[in-house]
Structure 1
Amino acid sequence: MVENRLIQGRYRLLGTIGRGGMGEVWRARDEALGRQIAVKCLKPLGPRHEREFLDVLRERFRREARVAAALQHRGITVVHDFGEDQGTLFLVMELLTGRNLSQLLDDNRRQPLPVPDVIDIAEQVTAALAYTHGQAVVHRDLKPANIVRTADGTVKICDFGIARLGHDIGFTARLTGTGVAMGSPHYMSPEQIGAHPVDHRSDLYSLGCVLYELATGVPPFDLGDAWAVLVGHRDTAPTPPRSLRPDLPAAYERIMLQLLAKDPDERPRDADDLAKRLADARQDLALPAWTEGITPGSPAGPAHRPPRSVPSRAGTVLTDAWTGVGDPRSGDAAVAAGIASPAPPDDRRTALAARLAAGRALGEDGRYFEAHQIYAEVLAAQERTLGPDHPDTLDCRHHLARNLGRLGRLEDCRAMTWDVAAARARVLGAHHPDTLTTCYELGRVLGRLGKWAEALRTYQEVTAARTATLGPDHPDTLDARSEVGIGLGRLGRSAEALMLYHDLVAARTRTQGDDDPDTLRARHGLGVNLGRLGRWPEALAEAKEVAAARERVLGPDHPDTLVSLRETAVALGWLGRWDDALDRYRRVADARTRVLGAAHPDTLASQSDLAQCLEQLGRQDEAAALHRRIAALRRERATHRP
């Protein structure tokens, strides 16, 4: 986008206000009405997207923008207009004069806001949520950067639905190495993380995270990396905020902890219920005189209690599921899959196979949302033309299930993978290679869900079946044995894991060679379990040899090389050789900064390792300075998160 551009002959762009993963926000002038406005321009959609996908995205944008424009409440940013200009989707909004809550915290040097400010913001946001939930609208990305306090003290929620389009366009941040689609990890509800159904109570959880940060200066789970944050939301009780902020009234601490309940049923029933609890808490306070008369405002329309569940469908935030009834691509499933006209069965199967291959290519390229659309379309066509149990149909379902995992929908992935494994066993046989491939994927998703006992049993069954049908040294058999070793280690059975890795290293060396990446991966697992058993001199020797081999074979900056270098540092630390460990930790941190960038989660984790090593060496000032830099980079990352 360029300054002074005229959008649709009406909105003149004057200067950028901010940038994010989805695009840019511009200060602009409505030439027809002569007023200042804000224009949010989604990033131009390049030629890498297929026309069919772009048509669906445009329709989705129009639907969500239409819903956002229909929301009329003093606590919600007004949407005036929306459309498309030269391939750029845009949204015209009121121009707010004020600061978002993340900026307010930064202005306050990340110190807690005054208690009256926290209370005022809580009440105003709650009123806005009561209205929107009454319209069956769930925000799903509530965070400080999406809440603005204007110059006159009014608090407004921004980006209802529009920010979530980033999932469709493909600019969502992802957890390194997991494929989990990320929104804003510090403010995500446990049900969002676990890919469970999401309703209005998810927004209440996110509001609890926001209020906790305003009251204490830090999010409820301010941990070392994005994955640790998500695990904290899912498994860890938050630190009571009064232990960080003693002057916070007990009634408000109680409300925050209720909002942060893991089980949605244990949170306030809805925003109306939350408003009542806030009103009761206010009555118990003797607040300063200037707070008298402050109210959250009344809804612009009739107040409705939200239904017990506002379901969140795949790819849906504000509107009905756009892949169902009324979808522009609905109709004949074969035509939806890219076939222009009815074709003979063999030709149709060929076309569907080609379409499936295109989906797989998109998935390998990291374009998981687009791949998902293709898989869903092909599956619908195959079920109509071939039947639900045809091997081609089951192959498509296998890939669709795997892609759900890449999108972070782990429970959906687990359920579908289980069904496909059972169907393939029934149709093809329990020991058929395709059946075992699906069982292998089932083990993978069980591990990602933390169900390691089930994952281990699954991998052991796959290993036994592959050994019987393919032989003990077949690469697929060895892959399954490797996963068994990981499962044993995860369950604390390191002695068994060590024996397995000894045999696996021998088999990999015999069949693939000393320097094959798979051989080196097995040796890495061997070294890790030596360390878990406290055999640190042996662990150090193994880690050093694997690091040197990986540097020679893969290169000094390859992720596997850096993992082995870090493992070397860990062993050195356990042996008390902190000076030597410092050199390795620094090399890892420098390499990740160079390759991934200073604010990447893996880089920040390496910098944290380095800081802890400095502390062990008694270099407290250097460690403290590094901790401050890490904290600043995390804040910067959070500020620029869409």
Structure 2
Amino acid sequence: MAENRLIQGRYRLLGTIGRGGMGEVWRARDESLGRQIAVKCLKPLGPRHEPSLLQVLRERFRREARVAAALQHRGITVVHDFGEDDGTLFLVMELLSGRNLSQLLDDNRRQPLPVPDVIEIAEQVTAALAYTHEQDIVHRDLKPANIVRTTDGTVKICDFGIARLNHDIGFTARLTGTGIAMGSPHYMSPEQIGAQAMDHRSDLYSLGCVLYELATGVPPFDLGDAWAVLVGHRDTAPAPPRTLRPDLPEAYEQIMLELLAKDPDDRPADADELAKRLADARRPHPAGPDVATVPDRRLPSWTQGITLGFPAGVARRPHQDTPAPAVTVLTDAWTDGDPEGAPAALTSPAPPDDRGAALAARLETGRALSRRGRCFEAHQVYAEVLTGLGRALGPDHPDTLSCRHHLALNLGRLGRLEDCLALTREVAEARERVLGAGHPDTLTTRFELAHVLGKLGDRAAALRTYQQVAAARGAALGPDHPDTLAARYETGLGLGRLGRDAEALALYRDLAADRARVQGCDAPDTLRARHGLAVSLGRLGRWREALAESGEVARARERALGPDHPDTLVSRRETAVALGWLGRWSDALERYRQVAGARERVLGAAHPETLASQGDLAQCLERLGRIEEAAAVQHRVAELRRERAARRR
């Protein structure tokens, strides 16, 4: 196929979207209706292929067209047309704007998706499967790459290329008789692997594999080759998801394990039953809060209610742009209050009618959903409110821009960072045009812009933006305003990430003094600035000063936050690092033991931070010549790492 080719005198190919083993998908324009569509074309086969194989592939392709065109559900990709042009079979589908689940995991560096996202995807896919199975159709190749989450939050199943009508046994036998792989090894049910009788419950098994991977970051059987994966599906029980993802609510772990039952009779009877199970798991239970937000019960009481997500934008403490590795000495910020940080209400009165009041109430509903981690629902609410505000007030009205700001924040929480960056930049430019460069709302959005730039790895641009926001806030709000101080702190982090430690040292010294004067010497923000000061001293080789500063901060944090708080432990580790650089290894050993013991109590023996602390301990023992003790610690760490890897498999 070639770009700009006109299919059947109607569909203009504009550019490839993707390629697979059987075909390629093109973005195209329907010249008759003037709309953008997707065109899937069956790849022509070379002369070395058997004619019978070509016939089977053509039959399978036509099969997809007939099956998909018969399905009409919001959770299934719409098929508009089907035909053949100059020997090429093609399928015309709606053009989806979004990412498939495999791409979302790649965007998230193969880390697990937020629990609320997993739940939302599970519920939408289950609804689509319930409809599909009612039509007596089994998908048979359900996998992350065949499930797309669109920009409005809708989840759609795609690619019915090997779907089977339950009553059409002869057709399926002809297809499978060719030796062509039917399905994807990581997501195939045991009965599919064994060529046994299969029904809609095979799709439920595949859905269980998909949800397991979204929740843990790895498929249930993440083994070295396809055969080992297939044997795992057939013979091996999967590791319980909570061994890899402790914050996953137990109710959802149980649902996933039942979906992954080897015997179809042990799985939910059908997608309708699964939908009821998911709805029941989401409801608040007498024993505690909504299970979608139940905290990890191994963690101490001070962690309850702390959630991951986008940082505050105004007068809050933003998170760093990436999770801190074990050797990092600056910790993520611990936030409190409203995580959105932006203005608590619309920036100007709502439209003077019932519609305006309803839109304002809906916006608050969206913010509440986002705070609870129900970001897909929040996205739908924000989109609805934005449409209403745009019609009632216009695209550049401050209230419309406030809604767009919240929508951008929510895109970040959904992991759609590129979309978040584009929208945040648009809102910042519009707010500057409408409100002025120094308006607090403009600076709030620019603060978020800097954060997203950092998340996407453009640290130099992030630093420049933080510096600009800090200067503008100082001029507009005053040097002691909490928002100004927050921007200055982020500037210090940015300088450190770029290795500009002398500049970071000067900034943290001034910021710590200002924080102490405004908030008090033991305020968490003051101690955070002082910790940054200690780190910068160490990076500049001024270890005696670094030791004194980090020791004082550790003691103050223990008084204010408790001995096992992560910030306290990070400061205690920093004192151990300084002691080691000063040759005081015996004193360092005591601190390393304290940190390792506390992390094991709080996080568990196999947690990565605990293992990193044990590694610190082993290195310190080696420095003291206690080789056998160091070897014992290293052996234990290695065993725990092997056990952790085995559970992941």
- Give TM-score scaled by structure 1 length: 0.51
Q: Distance in 1 between matches of 2:207 and 2:394?
A: 37
Partner of 2:583: helix, strand, or coil?
coil
- Equivalent position amino acid for 1:521 in 2: R
- The verdict on how the C-alpha distance between 1:398 and 1:633 changes in structure 2, with shifts beyond 3 A counting, is farther
Give the alignment partner of residue 62 of structure 1, picking from 127, 146, 152: 127
Inter-partner Cα distance in structure 2 for 1:209 and 1:345: 63
| Percent of pairs with identical residues | 58
**CA distance in structure 1 between the aligned counterparts of 2:558 and 2:228, rounded to whole angstroms:** 43
Q: 1:54 to 1:496 in 2, by over 3 A?
A: closer
Aligned partner of 1:638: which letter?
R
Cross-structure match for 1:588: 595
Residues 557 and 591 of structure 1 are in contact (CA less than 8 Å); yes or no, is this contact kept in structure 2? yes
CA shift for structure 1 position 187? 7.5
Alignment size in residue pairs:
374
Q: Return 5+ residue gaps in structure 2 as ranges.
A: 1-114, 144-176, 197-201, 230-243, 245-349
Question: Which residue does the alignment assign to 2:631?
Answer: 621
Find 1:527's aligned residue among 521, 531, 534: 534
Does the 8 Å contact 1:614/1:622 carry over to 2? no
Q: Which of residues 379, 395, 399 is equivalent to 1:388?
A: 395
In 1, are the aligned partners of 2:142 and 2:207 still within 8 Å (CA)? no
Alpha-carbon distance in structure 2 between the residues aligned to 1:475 and 1:581: 36
Residue pair 1:608, 1:627 contacting (<8 A) in 2 also:
yes
Q: Contact 2:383 / 2:407 at 8 angstroms: preserved in 1? A: yes
Aligned with 2:363 (options 335, 356, 359)? 356
Query: How far 1:563 sits from its partner (Å)?
Result: 1.8
Query: Aligned partners of 2:425, 2:516: CA distance in 1, in Å?
Result: 34
- Looking at structure 1, the residues matched to 409 and 382 of structure 2 have their Cα atoms a distance apart, in angstroms, of 11
Partner of 1:482: 489
Tell me, what secondary structure is at the counterpart of 2:353?
A: helix
| 1:425 positional shift | 0.9
Deviation at 1:410, TM superposition (A): 1.7
Shift of residue 407 of structure 1? 2.4
Query: What does residue 82 of structure 2 align with?
Result: none
Matched, 1:538 2:545: yes
Aligned residues of 2:492 and 2:504 also touching (Cα < 8 A): yes
Match of 2:564 in 1: 557
Residue 479 of structure 2 aligns with which residue?
Answer: 472
Equivalent position of 2:380 in the other structure: 373
CA contact (8 A) 2:512 2:526 kept: yes
How far apart in 1 are the matches of 2:228 and 2:521?
51
Matches within 5 A, 1:212-223: none
Q: C-alpha separation between the residues in 1 aligned to 2:418 and 2:619?
A: 36
Aligned residue in 1 for 2:520: 513
Q: Report the Cα offset of residue 413 of structure 1.
A: 1.5
Q: Could you tell me how far 1:558 is from its partner in structure 2? A: 1.9
User: Contact 1:598–1:633 (CA<8 Å) still a contact in 2?
Assistant: no
Closer, same or farther: CA 209–433 of 1 in aligned 2, 3 Å: farther
**Whole-Å separation in 2 of the counterparts to 1:505 and 1:537:** 19
1-side partners of 2:374 and 2:561: how far apart? 26
Q: State the AA in 2 paired with 1:441.
A: E
How far did residue 524 of structure 1 move? Answer: 0.5
- Deviation for aligned residue 1:372: 2.9
Alpha-carbon distance, 1:512 to partner: 1.4
Deviations 1:413-444 (A, max 9, x none): 21111111111111111111001001001111
For structure 1, the 5+ residue unaligned runs are 1-48, 78-123, 133-138, 167-171, 173-181, 189-205, 215-225, 227-342
1:511-550 CA-to-partner distances (Å, cap 9, x unmatched) read 1111111110100111111111121221121111101101
Q: Equivalent residue for 2:409?
A: 402
- Structure 1 residues 566 and 147 mapped into 2: Cα distance closer, same or farther (>3 Å)? farther
TM-score (norm 2): 0.50
Does the C-alpha gap of structure 1 residues 614 and 370 become closer, same or farther in structure 2, counting only changes over 3 Å? farther
User: Residues 516 and 526 of structure 2 are in contact (CA less than 8 Å); yes or no, is this contact kept in structure 1?
Assistant: yes
Q: Which moved more, 1:594-603 or 1:457-466?
A: 594-603
Aligned residue number for residue 431 of structure 1: 438
State the Cα distance separating 1:620 from its structure 2 match.
3.6
- Partners of 2:227 and 2:553 in 1: how far apart? 45
Q: Read off the aligned partner of 2:496 and give its amino acid letter.
A: G
Contact 1:65 1:162 in 2 (8 A): no
Q: Deviations over 1:377-432 (max 9, x none)?
A: 32233233333222122112212211222222222221111111111111111111
Equivalent position amino acid for 1:621 in 2: A
Shift of 1:629: 3.5
| Other structure's SS at 1:389 match | coil
Whether the 8 Å contact between 2:547 and 2:579 is mirrored in structure 1 is: yes
Q: CA deviation at 1:213?
A: 10
Q: Is the 8 A contact 2:606 2:641 kept in 1?
A: no
The answer to whether the 8 A contact 1:394-1:424 is kept is: yes
Contact 1:508 1:519 in 2 (8 A): yes
Query: How far did residue 446 of structure 1 move?
Result: 1.1
1:387–1:565 Cα change, 3 Å: same
Q: Which residue of 2 is the match for residue 578 of structure 1?
A: 585
Cα distance in 2, alignment partners of residues 518 and 621 from structure 1? 40
For 1:207 and 1:638, the matched residues in 2 are separated by 7
